[in-house]
Structure formats: structure tokens, C-alpha cells
A and B are shown apart, each in its own frame.
Chain A
Amino acid sequence: MTRFDVIVVGGGHAGTEAALAAARMNAKTLLITQNIETLGQMSCNPAIGGIGKSHLVKEIDALGGVMAQAADAAGIHFRVLNGRKGPAVRATRAQTDRQLYKAFIRQKLEHQENLSLFQQSVADLIIENNRVVGVITQMDQQFRADAVILTVGTFLGGIIHVGLNQHSGGRAGDSASNKLSERLRELPFEVGRLKTGTPPRIDGRTVDFSVLEEQPGDTPRPVMSFWSDASVHPEQRPCYITHTNEATHDVIRAGLQRSPLYSGVIDGIGPRYCPSIEDKVVRFADKNAHQIFVEPEGLNTTELYPNGISTSLPYDVQIDLIHSIKGFENAHISRPGYAIEYDFFEPRGLKSTLETKPIENLFFAGQINGTTGYEEAAAQGLLAGINAALLSQSKEPWSPGRDQAYIGVLVDDLITLGTLEPYRMFTSRAEYRLILRQDNADRRLTETGRNLGLVDDDKWHSYLKKLQEIDELNSELAKTVVFPGNSAIDALLEEPLGREYHLAELLKRPGVDIQSLLMANGNTEYDVVAAEQVEIDIKYRGYIARQQQDIERIRAQHALNIPVDLDYLLIHGLSNEVKQKLQQVRPENLGQASRISGVTPAALSLLLVHLKRRSEFQQTAATG
């Protein structure tokens, strides 16, 4: 029997990042998947990134992950969202060719040292003394490892609905993992059901593009990875926009009685920010049109993904629905839309490393934790992979704080607040939004990634070079003084200088941008990316300082660890409600405790006093 350091179950976005991260950290890693052909499969829409999501992608990239580079290699349409709002809320999105994306991921996996792939369905975990030590496949093979990561997506107890028809499945065309699901339900995890859905895909040869609004990608074309440039992008394609109309809505309303959502067949809770088209029509009855983004599935396929009309209505209703839409009058459905219900595990049962609290050395990442989205899954996979490798090497665990990364916000929200619907990232979830930007993910995380062994020499040196360029520009702006009568500067400011100024002071003015300022100063050799960083640092300076103060203020709380075995019911003075909540979440430190709803400053004080007394008692016991 072969022994591994880390076993990853599942080959989606969480599983592949987990396996690659563990292997890069020199852990001997095995990735087991039902089907090697579907490694890196995009089960939903063919896009990577978006608001809040590209923030995660760039953090994964900064930590040496693969998602951003795959998106660049497969991206056939790139846009910057919120371009006119400030840099903190700016985001990047790539439409991708599914085949190119999968091929890139597959190639990375196959060329990764320390990583083996194996095609087989996992049926059981080997657990000894509440610790996982390996997995058993459907063929009864056993694989042993120090740590096991489950990234099983929607495959646990997956049920696919099209109208009132339903069948077991993990994704259209793939079977569910029912054996593993049954086994996990026997373990001490709290199980819930969630639901998500996809729209019908249509054949582009049967669509009338002449009546659709074309949406081209952005120029200049943005890039997803810190280590790529636009030259790696394949041929670019436009997207299109069309709309539903009252006729569509009539079709939907007439079909509602055969909708699994509205006839009570589906119990799972779906995402409110990504409702099915039947949900939109019912809940927002006064809207007479809903937008549809028509996204290309790839360069070598005619299939299209009409984003915005995910549905589980019966197939015959889907046909009428599609035909009622402008441009789709004669469209052929190549794959019906469907809803899928699946198991997830209450994420408050996880540590911030994504290790489960009840079973040691077992990690969960991705939709199994109640999230949705490729990016959310990949971020968790990366974190679980890192910590599984650290655990197998007997090293200290690592997880970023809410002030360091969206990954930290994601994990802290999950393990502290839990979730009632599929959890998706938004920038409004991050209280330090001005610090956690997509543009500075490398400056926030790459050094850590390097220390963890995730960032290779090439990336590291290119990062150091960027830092040096930032330093040089900073010192140029801080040291260069311009005097009254400087015509280039006067022209830029549209008024004469009244006195001498440092360039950095001028950059603080609204409307003055760094590139024009450097040009006016005669510098044409500057690095654009570094200049952007310097500009944002200066423009945001006051706000960043304020957020840093907030961070400092609560840092002490995060340094106060709470023992996992603390019995909250014994704490004097706490209300029963607070005791129960603390007992359920079992926060890792005082900071996490403070974010549990209902935990007041006074409750924290009582907790602190209790911990103090407890540590004194332990000390007495140890010395006496």
C-alpha cells in the first residue's frame, strides 16, 4: 500500500489548487478524482473573476496558485469592472474557453513534482481515534496519508432536477458520490442542503446575432495574473446581450406548477444573488425584462452560455422560454438547464485552517463548506492544501486574517457566522476594503507565499523587482521639488505653482495622476504597474492609515488564543444565549469571538477574566 503525505479527493477548482499547493510545498500528494478527463472542469459559466472574485483570484496568484494563469491562458474576453470607481473596488473578469482552461490545469498537474493523479471514486475514509489516516476507494483500495482534503463540490448526495424529473448526479453527465455522502453523514458533522442551477446551453449556429447587442472586451486588455501579460491570451471574442420579455415571463408563469422550486420538490436553499429566472419573474413581477449575457463557451465550439436564465423548469418549457427571447427565436438547446441539490457541512465546524474540528487531519474545501463559485472554491483549496502540507511536516499552521486577504474574510465569515445560502464573495463583506485590493494582492501575500515554499524563484525575483521600482518612484516623488515657473507642471495643474512643491504633494490633489506627473517631470521610463501602486498608496494614504489603526486596535484580541476544549457553559456571568453561541462556534481567539452575533464587549471581558483564572489554575497545578 502506498503512503502519501496529503490526499486530495476531487479534481475541481478547490482540489487542483489544494493538490498543487501541497505538492509545491514538497508534500507527497495524491489527487483522486472520479474522472481525470474532468480535472479543472468549469461546471457553471465559462468565466473567472468578477467583483470580489478577482480579488480572490489575484490572492491565489500571489500565493503561487494556478487559477489566474489558467484564466490568462484560456481567456477569450477580458473586462475591468468598476473601472470608473476607485482601485479598491475595481475587478477583472475573463470569459474563458473551457477546453483551454482544462488543458492548462491538466498540464500543470501532470508536470507538478510530488503529485500523482489517480482515477477512482472514493467510498470511505479511514478514521482511527477521531483522526483521518487515509481513504478507501470503490474498488476497496486503501491509500494512507497524514492529511486528507475533501473537495467534492456538489457531488455529495447530488440530485439533479429538470422540471419534476429528478435523478442522482454530481453534475450533468457525472454521477454523485452517494457512498461517501452516506459515510460522512455518520460522522459528527452537521449536514445541510443547498441548491444551485445552470441555464440551458444553446447552439450559436441557431442564434441571430444581428439583433443582439455586442459587448467587446476592454482595450487595453487587462491581465489576471501578476506574472503574465496580454501576450499569453488566445484569440479574443465578444459577448452579447439580450433580454427576456413579457412573453418569456408568461411562459415561465405558465410552467411554474411543474417547477421543482415552486412545487416544493427542492428543499435546498439557493443563492439570493444568483436566482433562477423563475425566481426573478415571481419575486420581481413588475420588471418586464431581465438581462441575459450571452457568453461564448470557447473558440472551437458553437455552444453559448446564456447567463441570467438559470432554470429548473421542464425541458418543454425551457424550449418555449428560449424561443421567446430576442435573437433566440430559432435557437437549439444543446444541454437543458437544471438545478442541483447537494450536501454541505456546517462550516462553523471548521478551524481557520479548514481542518474539521471533530476529525483531526481532515480538511474540507469548496462547495462542501457551503460556498459557491470557482474562485471561492480555489481559495479554500489553496488554504487547505497549504495547511495539510504544513500538518504533514509538523509545522505551524497558517491562515490569513480579515485584514490580510479576502481569503481571510471568506474563511472567517464561514467559520464564525456559518451560512444559510451558498456563500459568494462581495467587496462589501470586507471591512478593510481599501487595503484588500486586487492590485496589491502580491504586496499583501507573496512574501508569505515565498516563505511557505509556494512561490518559485522566477516569480519571486519579478516581485522583488517590482518592489524596487516602487521604492525608486516613491523616492523620486518624495525628493523631487518643482519650482514656480515650471511650465510643464503649470500646464498639468492648469494653474501656475504658487510656491515650491514636492511631487508627492502634487499627486495628492484630486485630478492629478501619476503618469502625467512623471511625464511632466521628464520621466518617461517609469514602470506602469509600479507607478499605479505608488499612486494608489498616495491617494489612499489617509484612509489606509485609518484602517490600519482599526486593525492595530483589535490585533491584541487576535493574539489571545482560546483553548479548543474550553467549556463555555462554566463561564460565570455569561447569558445562556451567548454561552450556546460560543459553544457552537468554539472561536480560536478573542477576535473571532467578538464577531459572533450577540457577543458584547462585556461578554468578551467575562471570557477574558475566565481565561485568566483558568491559566492561573493551570499554572498552579503545573508547579504545585
Chain B
Amino acid sequence: MNQGPAVSDLATIVAEATPAGRGGVGIIRLSGSGVCNIGKTLVGHLPAKRQVETRVFRAADNSVIDQGLVIYFQGPASFTGEDVLELHGHGGPVVMAMLMQRCIELGARQARPGEFTERAFLNNKIDLTQAEAVADLIDSASQAAVRNAVKSLQGAFSERINGLVVKVTHLRTFVEASIDFPEEEEDFLADQNLIDQLEQMMAEVISILSNAKQGVILQEGLQLVLVGEANSGKSSMMNLLSGQETSIVTEIPGTTRDVIKENIVLDGIPVRVLDTAGIRDSIDPIEREGIRRTVKSIEQADAVLWLIDWPAEIGQGQVLSQDALRAFMHARLIDLRRVLFKGADLEKPLVVILNKVDLLDSTHLLGDAPEPDTVYFSTKTGQGLSEMMAVLKEKLGLDIHPEGLFSARRRHLLALKVASEHLQLAFQRLTEESAGELMAEELKCAQDALGEITGKVRSDELLGKIFSGFCIGK
């Protein structure tokens, strides 16, 4: 009799089933009761169940997003036990993003990490003995998602979103106070130029969104920054990376004289590489300016590649023990932090590139690198490139779950778009019928959307702000 929780009536979920940017095929998977309706709108009529057919995936304006294979699994004979639809497209990150976006427009919700497996388990598609494994998956996937969300939120983006949340909350404090305390003599909205405030907020969201699209703050890809001393091989690294087969997509002229940017694709992942001026501890104002710009680039980046001219450091013919190497690396890292951050932590994933190993003669048995995130490298021969990418992907969590940095960012973009729509509706309500309950409702929706990024603001917190800010009560 007891079937456990029935979950078949839960929301339709969608996620990329293949890790971001990997290879030539990208699979998007949907599960839930809304699959048939979403599928029909997206690809026309669905193939018979478990039959593979080619379809065109269409946007809302009927334009073609991609073309690919469609497979429909009718529940309960599917992975999750619900209706499942798989769309096999061409896998580029932009196309995948558009497809995801379209599915969400049509009513699907972006799946939480591990949610497909969770549903499979809840619908008896996975053996009970695997319950712990399922729990572990949910746990680790959600932790990875949190880490990625935090990564996506670093630096300027986070500051701007938080700034926006503060503004929306501030405005809501006044609007809600005027609704819940209409008899106070204080006219809560009198000194609040609502139109100005709303216009500023709308402009801010649009600016954040457009910056995000230009990739300055929130690009759909990785930003790597190369740092190192003048002769450590940064430029060669840049050339090596951009000389890859699938290399240069576009070249954006550097806006600053000494930070050069390249947009490339590595292993299917769009990457922007920033080259920086050589680091030298100096009091020369020009060099100090170079350091300042390097620090700024690091703040914007997802990961730092630190290049070291290895033969110059250890000297030809000298063989160091692993312990000595480790001690040496630590000392150098402290140096780097002192020069760049006045000793503070880097707070970014760091990969140390021990470059120019091609210059070392064969008597140097390299063996394992002295530290886990250190790679022996040659910008001349390309030795170490695949190891470097492996370390990078691991550090950025790209290989572990499809819910990587990209989907964390997409989630944030989506939330911003929703917030933007509600702010515009709030503005419309305000101008049509002044600051009433409908404007308040739109503001609440906007704040809830931003809350997807920064965490919800609860109603009792809002009331707390009202009570601490205004003298209320008779």
C-alpha cells in the first residue's frame, strides 16, 4: 500500500546531460508531466516512443535554434520513471544555452544537481540499496553547484547584484510600510522618488545583463589570466593557446595597453585568456600601475595560470629533492602574494606552470610535480598542455557534473532577466495606478528573482527593517 512519496506530479525539469562544452554532441534532457507539451512546441510532433528521429528545434519566433535527434521515453519506462525527452544537438555552448532557455520559457524548470537521479530513485527506478549513493550524489552535486555559484558571483558581478538587492529591498521597505502602516503621519513614499528609483534599478539590471552578454563580467565561458615575471613565457603561452586547431574565434583589441585578451576555445570550452604585464616588485609608478591592472585582471578571472621560468629558477644541472622543491614553491607563492595582494590570499584557483622544461637536459628526471596543482610545461613543445587542462577542469569542477560554472551562470542570467521583467511591470503599475499593492507585488517578484542569486529576503526581515527604520505604532 505504501508507495512512498509520489512525485510524478512535480514540475518538469530540464538540464544538460552532457558536461558543458564537451565534444560535438550536446544532450538536453527533460523529465516530467509537461514533457509532451514542451516537446511538441519545440520540435513539432514527437517521434513514437523510443524511436530516434531528426527534428528542427525552434525558437519562439519560429527561427531555427539547432537541428538534431529527438528521443521520447514515455513514463514509467524511462530513466526517471516520468515522461522523458532527449534532444541531441550540436553541443556548442551558445546553442545549448538557447535550447535550455527555450525549454524554460516553455515551462520547464532548470533541474537541481542530481535531481534526475533523485526522481529515478523516488519512482522506484533505482534499487533501494543505492539510496545512500543517491544521497551522496545530491549532496556532492549541490556542494559543487554552490561552489560554482560562488565562483560565478565573485568580484564586480557580485557587488553589482548585491547593490541592486539593497536598492530593491530599500524601496520595498518604504512601499510595504506604506501599505501596512497607512495611519502613520510619516508619508513613507513622500521623499522617495519612486519613478527615479525604479528607473535607476531597471537601468542597472539592463546594464548588468548587457555586460554579462559582452562577457565582461558574466560570460558564458572561462576567463584565465596569465601572470608571471617578464621572461617566464606568458606571450609564448598566449601564442600556444591561440595556435590551437580550433583556436581564435575573435580578437578583441585590448582596452588597456598592457592587458591583452584572446578569445579561444580549448577542449570545447570557450576561454578568454588575459595576458598581463610582467610582475616585478618595484616602486616605479609605471610598473606599479601594471601590477594594479594585473590584480584587477585576477579579480575578474576564474583561474590564474602562474608561469615560472623553471630552468632559470633551479639552474642548469642542479637536481632538487621533492621536499626542497616544495619549500621553494611555498616561498615563491608567498612572494607572489606579497607583490600582488600585500600578502592576502589569492582566492582564485591557481595552476602553477613550471615552464621551459624543454631547456632542461635529460638528466633532470622530472617525475611528479612538487605540488598537486603544478604542471611541468613547455610553451615551445606544448608538453604539459593536456595536464594543465585536466588540472584546470578539476579545479573549476567542469568535469564532475553538468551543473558546472556555465549553468550556475545561466541560472543567474535567467534570474536577472526575470527580475528585469518584474521591475518593468512595477514601473508600469506605478505610472498607471500609483504605488499600490500591484506595484508591491511586482517588486516582491523582482526581489524573489534576485533572491535566487543572493538568497531570499524573508518577510520578517523586511518588517524588521521597517521597525528599525521608522517610528511605527500607536
Contacts and interface: CB of A to CB of B under 8 A. Distances in A.
Nearest to A52: B180
Contacts of A52: 180
Given A573-B135, A616-B4, A426 B121 contact: no
B128 interface: yes
B180 A609 contact: no
Interface string A380-411: 00000000000000000000000000000000
Interface string B436-474: 111011001000000000000011101110011001111
Contact of A611 (B4, B433, B474): B4
B139 interface: yes
A86 B131 contact: no
Contacts of B362: none
A431 B132 CA distance: 36
A89 interface: yes
Contacts of A590: 5
Nearest to B107: A549
Given A602-B112, A605-B114, A608-B118, A434 B135 contact: no
Nearest to A615: B4
A285 to B, nearest CB: 10
Contacts of A613: 128, 131
B26 interface: no
Contact of B121 (A293, A431, A609): A609
Contacts of A499: none
B441 A273 contact: no
A81 B112 CA distance: 43
A428 B441 contact: no
A51 B471 contact: no
A612 B139 contact: no
Interface in A280-297: 280, 283-284, 287, 290-293
A82 B182 contact: yes
Contact of B183 (A81, A602, A606, A622): A81
Q: How many interface residues does chain A have, given as a range?
A: 35 or more
Contacts, number: 147
A618 interface: yes
Contacts of B134: 609
A136 interface: no
A597 B436 CA distance: 29
A426 B180 contact: yes
A86 B460 contact: no
A292 B437 CA distance: 27
Contacts of A597: 458
A297 B285 CA distance: 78
Nearest to B460: A417
Contact of B467 (A89, A272, A602, A605): A272
Interface string A249-277: 00000000000000000000001111100
B471 A572 contact: no
A529 interface: no
B136 interface: yes
B398 to A, nearest CB: 20
A434 B1 CA distance: 40
B474 A280 contact: no
B433 A510 contact: yes
B180 A51 contact: yes
A86 B437 contact: yes
12 contacts: A51-B179, A273-B181, A280-B473, A307-B474, A428-B462, A573-B136, A605-B112, A605-B114, A609-B118, A609-B121, A609-B134, A612-B122
Given A272-B468, A600-B142, 20 more contacts: A81-B183, A82-B182, A85-B182, A273-B467, A290-B471, A291-B183, A291-B185, A291-B474, A426-B463, A427-B180, A428-B459, A431-B444, A543-B438, A553-B11, A602-B139, A605-B114, A608-B7, A608-B118, A609-B122, A610-B131
Interface of B: 1-5, 7, 9-11, 112-115, 118, 121-122, 128, 131-132, 134-136, 138-139, 141-142, 176, 179-185, 432-433, 436-438, 440-441, 444, 458-460, 462-464, 467-468, 471-474
